[in-house]
Amino acid sequence: MKFGTKAIHAGVKPDPTTGAIMTPIYQTSTYVQKSSGDHQGYEYSRSHNPTRTALQESLAALENGKHGLCFSSGMGAIDAVIKLLSPGDEVISTNDLYGGSYRIFTKIFVKYGIKFHFVSMADPASIEPYINENTKLIWTETPTNPMMNIIDVEAIAKIAKKHNILLGVDNTFATPYLQTPLDLGADLIMHSATKYLGGHSDVVMGALIVNDDELAERLAFIQNSCGAVPGPQDCFLVLRGIKTLHLRMERHCQNGKTIAAYLRTHPKVEKVYWPGFEDHPNHSVAKKQMRDFGGMISFTLKGNKIEDATKILESLRLFSLAESLGGVESLCGHPATMTHASIPKEDREKVGLSDSLIRLSVGVEDAEDLKDDLAAALEKI
């Protein structure tokens, strides 16, 4: 099946008891057994739930994977990945990543004896000096949050395979519509399903997709044992969102291109970060591994004044000032004080995350209205 067909049909089937075309919300905690241990595959909803099963199968199909696992949040999914490790193990992570990922790495897991190296992965060879016998995981985002850097997943995967290291890719910004990292050699994919997969800013959820049976079994053990699982209502909402993922992503990409081009010509804008520009440092990689370039954009202002960024954010009307991204509505944010506030200022600035940087999640509204909204806000400074 092509992607749009998979988005609508993969992993789901009419309810066998009623013929309902939409997957039912199995709002139950437990399941009746014919005899002790004689059940229909479901014992307790922390372990398995039919609504969650349908979603996990759908996500696996979209990413061209074998196994999907859903969690109560994206951070719950990342937590499960790091719990694969043991004290003394080391992780090489991209140095430009979501602030919540940085926080759980440095504030939670470091104290359990896991060491993290934060490295620019624009050149895949740059990770080689950090690899040793204790390295067990390479963690990437592409495009990165919020600097929109592109990482060559296939090249990183070759390095990881050579050293027998797991490669995890946060695919939240791209979604499986734009890229499928398992096909490029990654071992596992993480999604904050809260974002584009759900698509309507009404659910919080995380997901992991893998091919390896043993890895899936280990993650499923953690999922069940630690219990960070989503409820059936949330699974239903993400299943519903996935059915229009391909349609929404087409519009997000179209609008992203329009807004990025507009901002780049504005006299008050210093720099626009968007991988669709031909002079983006890794545009050729983006073009190779992505179907299109997405609706996430970051930009900085001339003068780099935090008060100017604040004034713009407070003046926007269609771009709502809020955490998160990937909904049908456009959002704006200030990473330095919002999503990435947990990262020390000196570390933020090393990757170019300045005080005036604004991140946009371009929605599916009319692009001309979004341009007018930005023009009016930029006039305030």
The residue type found at 102 is Y
**Mean pLDDT value across residues 119-132:** 97
Known active-site residue 46: yes
Please pick, among 98, 102, 177, 196, the residue that the annotation labels catalytic: 98
pLDDT value at 342 more than 90: no
Known active-site residue 98: yes
pLDDT value at residue 317: 98
CB 212 within 8 A of CB 53: no
pLDDT value at residue 29: 97
Known active-site residue 26: no
- Best CA proximity match to 206, nearest among 186, 223, 218, 221: 223
- Choose between 40 and 61: higher pLDDT: 61
pLDDT value at 350 more than 90: no
For the stretch 75-98, pLDDT in tens is 999 999 999 999 999 999 999 999
Give 284's contacts (C-beta < 8 A, 6+ positions apart).
none
Burial class (CB in 10 A: 0-12, 13-18, 19+), 41: exposed
Known active-site residue 112: no
**Phi, psi values for residue 113, rounded to 5°:** 85, 20
Q: Looking at residue 14, what DSSP letter applies?
A: -
Band of residue 127 on the pLDDT scale cut at 50, 70, 90: very high
CB 313 within 8 A of CB 358: yes
For the stretch 312-326, pLDDT in tens is 999 999 999 999 999
For the stretch 219-250, pLDDT in tens is 999 999 999 999 999 999 999 999 999 999 99
pLDDT value at residue 256: 98
Question: C-alpha distances in angstroms, 35 versus 31, 39, 43, 48, 87?
Answer: 12, 7, 12, 18, 42
**Mean pLDDT value across residues 50-59:** 98
pLDDT value at 341 more than 90: no
Q: Where do the H-state alpha helices sit in 265-317?
A: 283-289, 306-315
pLDDT value at residue 103: 96
Average pLDDT, whole number, for the chain? 97
CB 51 within 8 A of CB 230: no
Give 344's contacts (C-beta < 8 A, 6+ positions apart).
none
Six-digit token string for 212: 């390896």
- Respond yes or no on whether the N-terminal peptide bond of residue 146 is cis (omega within 30° of 0): yes
Please pick, among 79, 96, 152, 170, the residue that the annotation labels catalytic: 170
Please pick, among 195, 291, 359, 371, the residue that the annotation labels catalytic: 195
Instruction: Tell me the CB-side half-sphere exposure of residue 338, using CA atoms within 13 A.
Output: 21
